[in-house]
Amino acid sequence: MDQSFDDVWAECEDLFGQARETLATLKEPQPAHVVQASVNALFRTTHTLKGMAGMLGYPVFSRAAHRLEDIFDLMRKGRLRSTDSLIETLEAGVLALESGLEGLRRGRPEPEDYLQSVRRQIGELEAMARPTEGQAHDLSTLLDLPPETLKALSDYERTRVTAVLLAGTPIHGLGICLDYSTFDERLRAISEALGTRGELISTLPWDLPPDRDGLAFLLLWAGVTLEPLPVQGGEVLESRQLVDPGQIPVSLRARVPEPAPERLPETPSAPATPAPDAEILRLPAQRVEALEARLMTVGQLRDTASRLLRRFEEAELDAPRALLSEMETGLLDVQKSLLQMRMVKVESLFSRIEPMVKSLSRDLGKPVRLQLHGGELEVERSLLSRLAESFLHLVRNALDHGLELPSERLAQGKSETGTLKLSASQWGRNLRFDLRDDGRGFDLARIQARGRELGLLEAGERPDPERLLRLTLEPGFSTQDEASQISGRGVGMDVVRAEVEALGGEIHLSTEPRRGSLIRLTLPLSRAVVNCLKVRCEGQVFGIPLASVLRVQSGRIPLSGGVRVEVLGRLIPLESLQACLGLREPEAQRTFVVLTQQGGPAGRGSFEVAIGVDQVLDRGDVLLRSLPELAQTPGIMGGSPQEDGVLWVVDPEAVLGLAMDSLMRRVAHV
């Protein structure tokens, strides 16, 4: 794959994200002009994707994008109405194109038809939009305009005039005269104002009165009223209604399908308007990394200057110390901003999954309740991009093999609607993606039999459930006799495992017969901003991620590790942070932090441990980085250079495990 494709892929990824967001807006009640603006934006997006695919030499993709572009063109011309089923088909089509482009990015050959999964639905839409005999009409001739002006209207503008008149919306003409020096700015302002009140159909040149200087324009606008507009004195030449929808013969309207009634937003006082296109700057990752490295160097220089100043106690140095403190805050803000440039919300992945689940649910005859949690979590774009195809495969597997048919579920005493839960969360420096379903679970007996057939299990071997579940991650392993059209798409569980492990993560599976299954992907973040509680132990500062801190409190008397302390009416065990990390253990401590964990890898319930520390300092954001010397350090997941040295950030899950081990040794007197 040509290296230049990486930049094009980034732009395509942005375009697909915009398309998904715009399609989502069409599911909600919107004024007609907002719907029209959204459809126009989708038309432009698919047109751009078509051109980029052609430029890169992918003709099949280009033709598929062109076919979706045609559907959007039919919508913007008023020949297809926006309905839930139409939007679902378009979402599935966009998802198919996005998945196909991901395949090209990975070096796979082009398929014969990217839109095979929605070929029938798209054909039906095209048939619906095909005008029957006597149905095609051009109502633009009803406009009260000179013939030469009517000739200037494009085919698209004629279809929009016809569509809005059939919808019963009047069309107005606004003639304006603008000064040469500011006409572009003023025309843009008036056009945007008209766009928020209705649909701006066309902007045409207009005859200038003999007594005026400047440039004249005629704006054709569909809506109820033109007032108020941000026009200045003398700019308006005329304003009038060009056609009354009541002029359309009743017989003509009867032959044309009635459009859906306009669905008004919940707050008519603040009508929705199309979001302006955001300016996007694309920078090579190497430039961002170089800037991050330079900022790190500057931060180290700041730390050095701070240490030098602390050697002196002169009061006149208070101002430089305050400036250095502000510099530290500013550097962290810039580093966080740079990190944000790499980030994208998990919602961008969820938005691809939701339409796919709806489509598969319909095709398989399995009603599904989809629950999504953690979409607001931000992760690195490159990581989410690499995981996308694997995650889509897991979802397809869950629907195809995991969830039962309604009749089977009812026979088991379940609701006929299955549940699929997808969640994303951050645990310290780890990302966790959970996929749960309430289906039949993994068939361990069938997995064991298949494992023996493939020679993955020795004769007489009695594998435990965890060993059997790991077999499903082996290359070529499948319990299905034939590849399914739904989940057998060239991506197996072994490919999912390989992708996750290549990212430094791990995959865990668990199951319960007839209750469902859990697939958990855990991946490390290469860098992250973690909100931490800063504590001191043995003169060293540590950071504890606040997400795992339940409570901070002090005891009335010094306490030693191994005792139980009362927290919110419950007695829980106490262990010192020093004992957990293998440091010299203090005689006693007054202050402790309660760490909690909700559900471990095996699905166990939450548990809590009080961790004793010498002192609680403060809380704040910490820019966390991987440090080579931490590779084999238990309980530590990263560090952050500070003016007093390195602040070590502990891994809450690991510390909880170390604390339990230490407490058990105390009980055993080891």
Instruction: Give residue-wise pLDDT tens across range 93-117.
Output: 888 888 888 888 777 888 888 888 8
DSSP three-state, residue 373:
strand
pTM as predicted: 0.57
How does DSSP assign 182-198, residue by residue? THHHHHHHHHHHHHHHS
Q: Which fold has domain 344-524?
A: Heat Shock Protein 90 (3.30.565)
Scored b (16 or more CB within 10 A) or e, 570-589 reads eebbbbbbbbbbeeebbeeb
Residue 613 has which token pair? 């520390």
User: Which one-letter amino acid corresponds to residue 637?
Assistant: M
| The pLDDT value given to residue 408 | 93
Measure the CA–CA gap between 72 and 42, rounded to whole angstroms: 7
pLDDT at 268: 39
Report yes or no: 368 and 438 within 8 Å, Cβ to Cβ.
no
More confident residue, 602 or 486: 486
pLDDT in tens, 581-609: 888 878 787 788 887 765 444 344 467 88
- For position 168, what pLDDT does the model report? 81
Q: Range with the lowest mean pLDDT among 49-53, 67-71, 186-190?
A: 49-53
User: How does strand 570-576 pair with strand 564-567?
Assistant: antiparallel
pLDDT, tens only, 487-511: 444 346 888 888 888 888 899 999 9
What pLDDT does residue 253 have?
52
- When comparing pLDDT for 60 and 644, which is higher? 60
Structure confidence at residue 305 as a pLDDT band (50, 70, 90): confident
Give the closest residue to 129 by CA, choosing from 104, 98, 163. 163
Q: Which residues pair with 371 in a beta bridge?
A: 421
DSSP 565: E
Percent of the chain whose predicted confidence (pLDDT) is above 90:
10
Nearest to 346 by CA among 369, 380, 394: 380
- On whether the CB atoms of residues 334 and 295 are closer than 8 A, the answer is yes
Neighbours of 522 (CB within 10 A): 18
Decide: 574 and 592 in contact? Cβ < 8 Å.
yes
Answer whether residue 342 shows pLDDT above 50: yes
3-state SS assignment for residue 34: helix
The pLDDT assigned to 517 comes to 94
Examine the pLDDT at 133 and tell me if it is beyond 80.
Answer: no
State the chain's mean pLDDT as an integer. 79
Cβ within 8 Å of residue 492, ≥6 positions away: 393, 475, 476, 477, 478
Nearest to 12 by CA among 103, 75, 83: 103
Structure tokens at 136: 């095609």
Residues contacting 224, CB < 8 A, separation 6+:
169, 170, 198
SS (H, E, C) 265-294: CCCCCCCCCCCCCCCCCCCCHHHHHHHHHH
What does the DSSP assignment read for 460-474? T----HHHHHHHTTS
Q: Provide mean pLDDT across the span 28-34.
A: 81
Indicate the angle between helix axes 32-56 and 84-105, nearest 10 degrees.
Answer: 20
Q: Tell me the C-alpha distance between 665 and 670, whole Å.
A: 5
Write the pLDDT tens digit of every residue in 399-447.
Answer: 988 999 999 999 999 999 999 999 998 775 678 999 999 999 998 988 9
Inter-residue contact 599 to 564 (CB < 8 Å): no
Within 13 A of 57's CA, how many CA atoms are on the CB side? 5
Asked which of 75-84, 262-271, 375-384, 505-514 is least confident by mean pLDDT, the reply is 262-271
Going 89 to 92 to 96 to 101, the CA torsion angle's sign is: positive
Q: Indicate the pLDDT class of residue 137, thresholds 50, 70 and 90.
A: low
In terms of Cβ atoms closer than 10 Å to its own Cβ (0-12, 13-18, 19+), residue 607 is middle
- pLDDT band at residue 519 under the 50/70/90 scheme: very high
Cα within 13 Å of Cα(535), Cβ side: 26
What does the alpha-carbon distance between residue 667 and residue 143 come to, in Å, rounded to a whole number? 92
Mean of the pLDDT values across residues 368-393?
85
**Cis (ω within 30 of 0) for the bond into 147?**
no
Strands (DSSP E) found in 363-472: 368-373, 378-380, 418-427, 430-437
Q: What is the pLDDT of residue 130?
A: 66
For strand 570-576 and strand 607-613, is the pairing parallel, antiparallel, or unpaired?
A: parallel
Whether the predicted pLDDT of 91 surpasses 60: yes
Indicate if the pLDDT at residue 354 is higher than 90.
no
Cα 347 off chain centre by: 2
Contact call for residues 302 and 327 (beta carbons, < 8 A): yes
**What is the rounded CA–CA span in Å between residue 463 and residue 450?**
13
Instruction: Given CATH 1.20.120.160, say whether it is the number of domain 5-129.
Output: yes
* Rounded distance between C-alpha atoms, residue 112 and residue 404, angstroms: 31
Both tokens of 243, joined, read: 């056609």
- Report, as an integer, the average pLDDT of 618-623: 78
* Distance in angstroms (rounded) separating the CA atoms of residues 400 and 413: 20
**Tokens 């390989």 found at:** 498
Mean pLDDT of 190-209: 87
Spatial separation of the C-alpha atoms in residues 65 and 79, rounded to whole Å: 19
Report the C-alpha gap between 121 and 83 in whole angstroms: 13
Question: Encoding tokens for residue 524?
Answer: 């490390």
Residue type, 543: G
Expressed in angstroms, the distance from the first to the final Cα of the chain is: 59
For 241, residues 6+ apart whose C-beta sits below 8 A from its C-beta are 170, 171, 172, 173
Where in the chain are the domains? 5-129, 139-255, 285-341, 344-524, 527-668
- Cα dihedral 331, 332, 338, 341, rounded to 10, equals -150
CA–CA separation, 234 vs 122, rounded Å?
Answer: 50
Beta carbons of 546 and 556 less than 8 angstroms apart: no
Top mean pLDDT of 58-67, 619-628, 639-648 is at: 58-67
Give me the numbers of helices (H) and strands (E) for the chain, helices first please: 19, 21
**Over residues 222-239, mean pLDDT:** 81
Q: Helical H runs in 27-58? A: 32-56
Q: Closest Cα partner for 547 from 459, 431, 418?
A: 431
Question: Of 481 and 658, which is predicted with more confidence?
Answer: 658
User: Percentages helix, strand, coil for the chain, rounded to the nearest 5?
Assistant: 45, 25, 30
pLDDT of residue 380: 80
CATH of 527-668 given 3.40.50.300, 1.10.10.10, 2.30.30.40, 3.90.79.10: 2.30.30.40
